[in-house]
Amino acid sequence: AQRVTQPEKLLSVFKGAPVELKCNYSYSGSPELFWYVQYSRQRLQLLLRHISRESIKGFTADLNKGETSFHLKKPFAQEEDSAMYYCALRPPGYSSASKIIFGSGTRLSIRP
Amino acid sequence: KAGVTQTPRYLIKTRGQQVTLSCSPISGHRSVSWYQQTPGQGLQFLFEYFSETQRNKGNFPGRFSGRQFSNSRSEMNVSTLELGDSALYLCASAEASGGETQYFGPGTRLLVL
């Protein structure tokens, strides 16, 4: 079954420390992968997608097909990074929103 | 362009009542999707509408229904509310039902007592 697993419900790190939010997926193929972020009292928004291979707000995510992972990383955490982060998957060839599978989310808390 | 708007922002209902939530997409967007967000289940897909047609429906009981109007505005209705329906209901719009980025609204927080 297609599944996205974010093993950590809460991740707390100090400001300036490296951050890694884990995401593992279950899919036999090459899905499209995303990270979404929801800051306090703000809307859920797309942070990055693996096909873009871009860095947004200092975050990067590398798709590891062998380990079926798409971990989100940032070398130096900032207080404004505190938010809820969702990893999501969409099977290839599907364009519908209904096919997007979200993980349960990880709340990132950056301590000063 | 104005973002996705949802009304009302907060709602308190009692069990057995029904509720209607509204979503206005970004101007020019024709695809609207609805999600239920809860702490335990995360984000779960409810429906997707495109050009007034329901394209897909998630695994929710028939008490959950929706529609889309010719101006792309969408409503979702939940009848015979249950305590477990308490959640944040998010609406997202996209230009079309394709691989484009979805833009989310602020959500309607529903509390069922």
The tens place of each residue's pLDDT in chain A, 112 residues long, gives 778 999 999 999 999 999 999 999 998 778 889 999 999 988 999 899 887 777 788 999 988 888 899 999 999 999 999 999 999 998 876 666 667 889 999 999 999 9
CA distance A18 to chain B (A): 25
B102/A32 CB distance under 8 A: no
Q: Band of the pLDDT at B95, cuts 50, 70, 90?
A: confident
Question: Quick one: B59 exposed, middle or buried, by C-beta within 10 A (0-12, 13-18, 19+)?
Answer: exposed
User: pLDDT band at residue B56, thresholds of 50, 70 and 90?
Assistant: confident
Q: 3-class secondary structure for chain A?
A: CCEEECCCCEEEEECCCCEEECCEEECCCCCEEEEEEECCCCCEEEEEECCCCCCECCEEEEEECCCCEEEEEECCCCHHHCEEEEEEEECCCCCCHHHCEECCCEEEEEEC
Q: In this structure, are residues A48 and A35 in contact, taking their beta carbons and an 8 Å threshold? A: yes
- What confidence tier does B40 reach under pLDDT thresholds 50, 70, 90? confident
Yes or no: say if A70 and A21 are a contact pair by the CB < 8 Å rule: no
Q: What share of chain B is helix, strand, coil (3-state, %, to 5)?
A: 5, 55, 45
Phi, psi of B69 (to 5 degrees): -95, 170
Where would I find the H helices in chain B?
none
Exposed/middle/buried for B68, CB within 10 Å: 0-12, 13-18, 19+? buried
Does B104 have pLDDT greater than 80? Answer: yes
Burial of A59-85, coded b for 16+ CB within 10 Å and e otherwise, reads bebebeeeebbbbbebeebeeebbbbb
Q: Which helix (H) or strand (E) holds B87?
A: strand B87-94
pLDDT band at B97 (very low <50, low <70, confident <90, very high): low
Is 60 exceeded by the pLDDT of residue B99?
no
What's residue B39's pLDDT? 82
Specify whether the CB–CB gap between B78 and B61 falls below 8 A.
no
Neighbours of B102 (CB within 10 A): 24
What is the average per-residue pLDDT within B89-97?
A: 87
- B106 Cβ under 8 Å from any chain A Cβ: yes
pLDDT, chain B, mean: 92
Q: Does residue B42 have a pLDDT over 90?
A: no
| CB nearest to A102's CB, from B3, B42, B105 | B42
Residue ranges of B 14-73 with Cβ closer than 8 A to chain A = 31, 33, 41-45, 47-48, 55-58
Tell me which residue in A32, A90, A97 faces B48 most closely, judged by beta carbons.
Answer: A97
Write down the pLDDT at residue B112: 97
